A = this chain, B = another copy of it.
């Protein structure tokens, strides 16, 4: 019996405890964007540190940043073998609208094959999967390579303190390559590896009209309603072909080659399945591209929130003084987040009428990333997934943004393999987030195999 077989047998034996530990972590409401949850952030970090110490990881520490702390650990006894940095985050998204959850977001609840809780898939489930893979190897003879672990608490707010942290801890974090577990696969029966991630530029746009709320009967018709003006500005941001109209927005977007379009077309997700997953009446998007291309290989502009005037029960005849939209763009190489901000400002300067005043705040941003598809680390990942799922993984471009991948590339000079086991219907950032438990179990097996493969191939 090889150590891999032994470690996988251990992991299968301990599944019950692995789920119960995950539930303990999920019960901590570690919402990084809400200051009221600061104590919960600390609790989550301490829970992780204790769990990691318990399984035999070393130098476990909770290191402060200007924001939420980073939990680090290592195991460096594989002399002559490469060192891998494993990245995760313990923070989660807010839970509103709370009334749309079927069970409490921080009371992890199993229904069928799924475990429902905020953070179950994004990404406490993925963090526990790689930790439990490490535990299985440590308990059956040790790891086949050296590992550094870095679990931050600010991914959901754009990792504002991670770059300075990595600079400061550069000596400790020195590694040969990195694993980023904040990712997913296409379906429970079809593994995939994301080799590209869209960048993000997130803004808050305010439109100001009157300097105070007015009576819509007395003043209606005589001033430009800020909610109307905001709607007019938003409506102009896409043309009739679903293309973003910001000046220069597509100038630096990498053109999709024939080979890459072919590879992406291998995705088995049909438009009908995608539509069913969203529940939308029809699909929509940029003319001339498939859904897979629209969500992975093309930049987008989405409205994430709208707020103006009276939104309570009943009718209040107010002409609001101001209106707000949260607006974010997903970016494709080689778009630059600062240039995109300048494009948005240029659009607003050109289109906003003199009857209102606008104000734009940049909230978070990060560039897009493409990871090379032919490194030994990538080949090891492909092997590990194929061995676990019995089918060769599909290579794909992920629509979401993981700013830390480019931070690691810039700060530590290494590429990340994006390997995680979330599913497209896991309701990330939405009510009723869940983790598919069979994926949790297979994820642990796949990480065990990956650690073994990558140690041998590197």
Listed in ascending order, the chain A residues whose CB lies under 8 Å from chain B are 33-35, 93-94, 96-97, 100, 156-158, 198, 200, 202, 208-225, 227-228, 230-232, 234-238, 274, 278-286, 291, 294-295, 298-300, 302-321, 323-326, 328, 330, 353-357, 363-364, 398-401, 424, 427-432
Contact = CB atoms under 8 A, between A and B. Distances in A.
Contact of A202 (B94, B280, B315, B330): B315
B281 A357 contact: yes
Contacts of A312: 33-34, 94, 96
Contacts of A299: 221
Contacts of A328: 216, 220, 315, 317
7 contacts: A34-B313, A222-B285, A228-B234, A281-B355, A281-B356, A304-B318, A311-B324
A213 B282 CA distance: 16
A217 B330 contact: yes
A315 B324 CA distance: 13
Nearest to A365: B315
Contact of A294 (B221, B230, B274): B221
A83 to B, nearest CB: 30
Contacts of A225: 302-303
Nearest to A202: B315
Nearest to A94: B316
Contacts of A33: 312-316
Given A228-B238, A363-B315, A220 B310 contact: no
Given A202-B317, A219-B278, A302 B228 contact: yes
A35 to B, nearest CB: 8
Contacts of A323: 306
Given A278-B214, A330-B220, A355-B282, A316 B303 contact: no
A399 B294 contact: no
A386 to B, nearest CB: 24
A215 B311 contact: no
Nearest to A296: B221
A227 B303 contact: yes
A319 B198 CA distance: 16
A33 B238 CA distance: 38
Nearest to A244: B221
Given A294-B222, A308-B305, A316-B94, A400 B217 contact: yes
B157 A219 contact: no
- Specify which of A200, A209, A222, A326 lies most central, judged by the most chain B CB atoms within 10 Å of its CB: A222
Contact of A318 (B236, B309, B430): B430
Contacts of A274: 222
Contacts of A221: 285-286, 294-295, 298-300, 302, 330, 399
Contacts of A357: 281
A399 B231 contact: no
B315 A310 contact: no
B295 A320 contact: no
